[in-house]
Amino acid sequence: MKALMSLEDYLAGWARNGEVRAAAKTVLSLAGAGTEISGLIARGPLAGSMSAVVGRHGDGDSQKELDRITNDLIIEALKGAPVALIASEELEAPLATGADDAPLCVAIDPLDGSSNIDTNVSVGTIFSILPLREDTGREDEAHFFQPGTRQLAAGYIIYGPQTSMVLSVGAGTHIFTLDPADRKYKLTAANLQVPADTREFAINASNYRHWDTGIRQYIDSCLEGAQGARKKNFNTRWIGSMVAECHRILIRGGIYLYPGDAREGYRQGRLRLIYEGNPVAFLMEQAGGAATTGQMRILDVEPTAIHQRIPLIFGSTGEVAIAESHCGLGENSADRSPLFAQRGLFRP
């Protein structure tokens, strides 16, 4: 078998100027932490009770033991990188590393899909690397309030049957698979291309009764299949780990939707803009796919809070455009009340 390009060599070819070189170093630090996390996850119950609840986030979501451990491992790794500020799903506020002259800030979701820890299903670490802004103090959280178009690099490490880093530095989206033989990440798929059309959608359909009219209409049209206006049958998938859905869509197309809905706390959906929506949108666009709130391109949204949620729809461009054309039609979660009044395929 021909030797595959290593992550180190790929990054060396990209990292020509100072800020970008710093981002390359940071990606390698994240890759190192990912290798450790991968080993831990592969041991599963042999490593102890990783799904034990050890705390709660500000919004009430539970924090599991593995969330805490992965957060600590990544922060430790980033302290050796040229990073001044770290925002994490697991931290209320960004952490200043104290690193003088470090030009970057990094936002992370250390363990996406942690409800799957005990079920041997893929989970992942998501990251977004931004340059520090020049118009504010080094420890100001406002460094993270830049649109996703400003990301220098973004991606995720998926811990599944294989561990892989999916990375974009703004020059295509690539997969580097961790080779357990020498613990190196190797380029196994370059320049992914998400097919423009699909017959596969991913959404948590149990929330149907809470959705806006437009989202219900869109999903109804998929469910009507060949008998409906779309004139083709669809298949559904819902894993409960966005990284795993994203990986599938990058490989074979599809659409993922987590729209805003009428539940308390879900008006802006479930996913976080800075460390979930933006990195995934960057990967999608770099692979020829699309990512939208339903109203606008994700990468153009100006963040205003570290843990800000965002309605998130991404995947095959043709399908995302069709879903987007339904958004905003009829009543929406901001003005719909009572919740359960609409008719649709899931409700008589």
**Binding span for ligand F6P by CB under 6 A among 69-77, 80-88, 222-230, 234-242:** 234-242
65, 90, 112, 200: residue in contact with ligand F6P (rule CB under 6 A):
112
Q: Which is nearer to ligand F6P, 20 or 249 (CB)?
A: 249
Q: Which is nearer to ligand F6P, 169 or 280 (CB)?
A: 280
The answer to whether the beta carbons of residues 147 and 139 sit under 8 Å apart is no
Tell the smallest beta-carbon distance from residue 116 to ligand F6P (Å). Answer: 8
* Binding pattern for the stretch 237-276 against ligand F6P, x by CB under 6 A and - elsewhere: ---xxx---------------------------xx-----
Phi, psi of 259 (to 5 degrees): -80, 170
**Amino acid identity, position 112:** D
Grouping H, G, I as helix, E, B as strand and the rest as coil, residue 152 is coil
- Report the alpha-carbon distance of residue 99 to residue 128 in Å, rounded: 19
The answer to whether the beta carbons of residues 70 and 51 sit under 8 Å apart is no
Neighbours of 307 (CB within 10 A): 18
Tell the smallest beta-carbon distance from residue 210 to ligand F6P (Å). Answer: 11
Q: Which is nearer to ligand F6P, 223 or 271 (CB)?
A: 271
Please tell me the chain's helix, strand, coil percentages from 3-state DSSP, rounded to the nearest 5.
Answer: 35, 25, 40
Phi, psi of 296 (to 5 degrees): -150, 160
Q: Which is nearer to ligand F6P, 156 or 234 (CB)?
A: 156
Q: Which is nearer to ligand F6P, 132 or 215 (CB)?
A: 215
- Give residue number: closest CB to ligand F6P: 242
- Report the alpha-carbon distance of residue 255 to residue 291 in Å, rounded: 10
* Binding pattern for the stretch 174-213 against ligand F6P, x by CB under 6 A and - elsewhere: ------------------------------x---------
Bond prior to 348 in cis (omega within 30° of 0): no
**Binding residues vs ligand F6P (CB under 6 A):** 112-113, 204, 240-242, 270-271
